[in-house]
Amino acid sequence: MSKPPDHLVFDWNSVEPPPASLPAAVTFDDETLRDGLQSPSTRHPSLEERVRFLELAAAVGAASADVGLPGAGARAAADAEALCRAIFDAGIPLAPNCAARTTEDDILPILEIAQRTGRPVEVALFLASSPIRCHVEGWSLDELLRRTERCVAFAVQRGAPVTFVAEDATRSHPDDLRRVYGAAVAAGATRVCIADTAGHATPGGTFRLVAFVRQMLAESASRVGIDWHGHDDRGLAVANALAAVWAGADRLHATALGIGERVGNPPMEQLLVNARLLGWARPDFSRLMEYAEHASRITGIPIPPGKPVVGRDAFRTSTGVHASAIIKAARKGDEHLVDLVYSAVPAAWLGRQQEIEVGPMSGASNIRSWLLANGYADEPAAVERILAAAKRADRTLSDEELHALVAGSPAGTA
């Protein structure tokens, strides 16, 4: 699909680059099987369903995946090991990681999985750093530093790659973050994760915080990766993730459909599409719908019709002025124009197309488009009859009703 001439689309999104340079590469960590399953509304998928999900996550562009918190109990540990084995045995191109609290008891089951499988498993070691959490838990900063140093070193000395996650970092004081992240890096952590655990951040705050961490690491000459883990309590999860990359984060955490704790995380499908639109990555979207639909099926979370990218209505219109523009674009013989005249995301990327429906907000253009798509002649009488029925309706008319109306039946007029 060719790019439209620049004079047809002026892109304000690229007028002036953000002040921080972009990372050399942006990767994605799929948190669906850990943070996603913390949603109170999900069902717990079978092991086979989760393995299939991991295959699809790799297919759509995730480079790593969190397979659970083995320290939560025997079942959680057994499941995490089974998922790691499935990844390794089937050659699924995903690097597994497991979450752990800052205790040796949480780290040990992950080390044992790595030992038994003979492959490294990343430890995502998390500890809250904000004043409000410390006040509630009764922790001192000195205690946080001791636990960070001890637990990171415990995992690193036993051969595990460690990402240190500062929980609630978006409400933490910069001096505290400097000391906590510094302790983790000094103990051997190869990545740090900035977690917006309470969904507090705005894009501006995200940018400033990530840029601060990036500068802090640069000052210490540490070659350490930066993760961003966000939540959507303010409806800003996707925007915050993009801001994190602009400030220097090189790995984003996300979940299928955005499911997760409380209102969830950034939706993986939306981050992948934005990354491709922004030129950060070239994921293959041929199975993105399958990925989303499988996630919906195994978790019991329905896909809302208006969900960006994967919703039923994402590329569907019944509005007359929109349909008219799409039809005019089609007459110019350029499929790219059809996809972009009323959509920022090309439907063709997902193997979909722009759909024109007929309903109360429709005009004659909608009806003529439907007639053409269904092999009917553009007869004025049929157009008039269908338009009158559509204006009387309280919803979009079904194909069955439209076929009946073409035949002269009063179907669909109620």
Q: What is the pLDDT of residue 413?
A: 44
Are both 234 and 343 inside the same structural domain? no
Q: What is the pLDDT of residue 83?
A: 98
Are both 25 and 164 inside the same structural domain? yes
Is 280 within a domain?
A: yes
User: Is residue 6's pLDDT more than 90?
Assistant: no
User: Is residue 215's pLDDT more than 70?
Assistant: yes
Is 413 within a domain?
A: no
Confirm if 405 and 412 have CB atoms less than 8 A apart.
yes
Range of the domain at 375: 316-406
User: Is residue 360's pLDDT more than 70?
Assistant: yes
The more confident residue out of 98 and 24 is: 98
Strand partners, 346: none
Is 307 within a domain?
A: no
Is 125 within a domain?
A: yes
Are both 290 and 324 inside the same structural domain? no
Are both 39 and 177 inside the same structural domain? yes
Average pLDDT over residues 26-49: 97
Is 309 within a domain?
A: no
Is 137 within a domain?
A: yes
Helix axes 104-117, 74-90, angle to 10 degrees: 30
Instruction: List the end-to-end C-alpha distance of the chain, in Å, as a whole number.
Output: 42
Are both 258 and 322 inside the same structural domain? no
Are both 346 and 267 inside the same structural domain? no
Identity of the residue numbered 331: R
Are both 269 and 183 inside the same structural domain? yes
Are both 275 and 330 inside the same structural domain? no
Taking the model in full, what pTM does it have? 0.91
Is 1 within a domain?
A: no
Q: What is the pLDDT of residues 217-270, one digit of tens each?
A: 999 888 899 999 999 999 999 999 999 999 999 999 999 999 999 999 999 999
Q: What is the pLDDT of residues 275-300, one digit of tens each?
A: 999 999 999 999 999 999 999 999 99
Q: How far apart are CA 383 and CA 379, in angstroms?
A: 6
Total tally of structural domains belonging to the chain:
2
pLDDT confidence tier of residue 13, bands split at 50, 70 and 90: low
**Summary mean pLDDT of the chain:** 92
**What are the residue ranges of helices labelled H in 248-398?**
268-277, 288-299, 320-331, 335-340, 364-373, 380-392
Are both 60 and 189 inside the same structural domain? yes
pLDDT confidence tier of residue 414, bands split at 50, 70 and 90: very low
User: Is residue 16's pLDDT more than 80?
Assistant: no
Query: 43-62 b/e with 16+ CB inside 10 Å = b?
Result: eebeeebbbbbbbbbbbbbb
Is 81 within a domain?
A: yes
Confirm if 251 and 275 have CB atoms less than 8 A apart.
no
Are both 270 and 360 inside the same structural domain? no
Domain boundary among the residues 272, 299, 326 is at 299
The domain that holds 151 is classified in CATH as 3.20.20.70
Are both 283 and 326 inside the same structural domain? no
